[in-house]
């Protein structure tokens, strides 16, 4: 069966735009300061990355765009992963919500030095690179843990997948750590640790599925040893 190809109707484009803008608006609303510079820097980064990836997929890989629109629990997603996805989404919302409250509105965290905020910004740049390249290099980069047999799922070993086996998760870690450093939120960093453990748990579950059911993945593990962090794990 040929994979479904997503056609972004005007209604769907509007919904996608609203979805992307929800989090930047929420950050500034919770911050209580519409001129919060760090908040605007993150928002511009977030909108630019989301927009760039969606446009790239729409023009160059509509089959992956269709895959990314699949809802949790659909297709042949692993049963445990549906709850993992909901947990990650909930954690992301809490993470997004607590940082502006902490760093701007209530000032629970002591002010972060400028060099640390710059370091956080550099982390976001690296995160954007990994996210974009992961989508560009791997047409099977689904948001669900499943074997995409209808799309002739294959192991991808090129590009950033030659660096680590889960470059998108590495980009996610850099996002979760870099953002609170940029914004100046200690509570955001604590949430980042929780999110990192969730991603690590998902990697373990995904590995079991891929080794068992995706031809060539066991050999790929021997070629690319590190799952998430080069020379560490």
**Domain extent listing, the chain:** 10-223
d(CA 12, CA 7): 9
Four-way CATH pick for 10-223: 1.10.645.10, 1.10.3720.10, 1.20.120.1630, 3.90.700.10: 1.20.120.1630
Where is 209: in which H helix or E strand?
Answer: helix 186-213
- pLDDT tens for residues 98-154? 999 999 999 999 889 999 999 999 999 999 999 999 999 999 999 999 999 999 999
Structure token pair of residue 128? 């954007």
Where is 168: in which H helix or E strand?
Answer: helix 167-183
Question: Cα–chain-centroid distance for residue 9?
Answer: 24
pLDDT score at 135:
96
Those residues of the chain that have pLDDT short of 70 are 1-8
For the question of whether the overall pTM of this predicted structure is more than 0.75, the answer is: yes
d(CA 52, CA 50): 6
Structure token pair of residue 197? 């453990």
CB-based contact 76:3 (threshold 8 Å): no
């Amino acid at each position: 069966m040929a994979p479904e190809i997503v056609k972004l109707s005007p209604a769907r484009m509007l919904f996608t735009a609203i979805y992307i803008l929800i989090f930047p608006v929420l950050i500034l609303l919770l911050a209580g300061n519409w001129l919060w510079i760090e908040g605007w820097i993150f928002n511009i980064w977030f909108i630019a990355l989301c927009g760039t990836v969606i446009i790239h997929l729409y023009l160059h890989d509509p089959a992956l765009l269709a895959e990314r629109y699949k809802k949790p629990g659909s297709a042949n997603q692993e049963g445990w992963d549906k709850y993992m996805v909901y947990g990650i989404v909930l954690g992301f919302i809490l993470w997004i919500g607590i940082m502006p409250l902490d760093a701007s509105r209530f000032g629970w965290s002591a002010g972060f030095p400028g060099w640390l905020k710059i370091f956080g910004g550099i982390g976001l740049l690296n995160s954007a690179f990994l996210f974009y390249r992961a989508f560009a290099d791997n047409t099977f980069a689904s948001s669900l843990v499943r074997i995409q047999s209808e799309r002739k799922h294959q192991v991808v070993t090129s590009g950033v997948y030659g660096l680590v086996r889960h470059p998108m998760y590495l980009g996610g870690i850099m996002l979760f750590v870099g953002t609170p450093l940029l914004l100046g939120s200690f509570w955001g960093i604590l949430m980042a640790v929780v999110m990192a453990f969730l991603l690590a748990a998902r990697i373990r579950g995904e590995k079991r599925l891929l080794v068992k059911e995706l031809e060539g993945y066991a050999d790929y593990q021997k070629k690319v040893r590190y799952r998430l962090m080069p020379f560490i794990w």
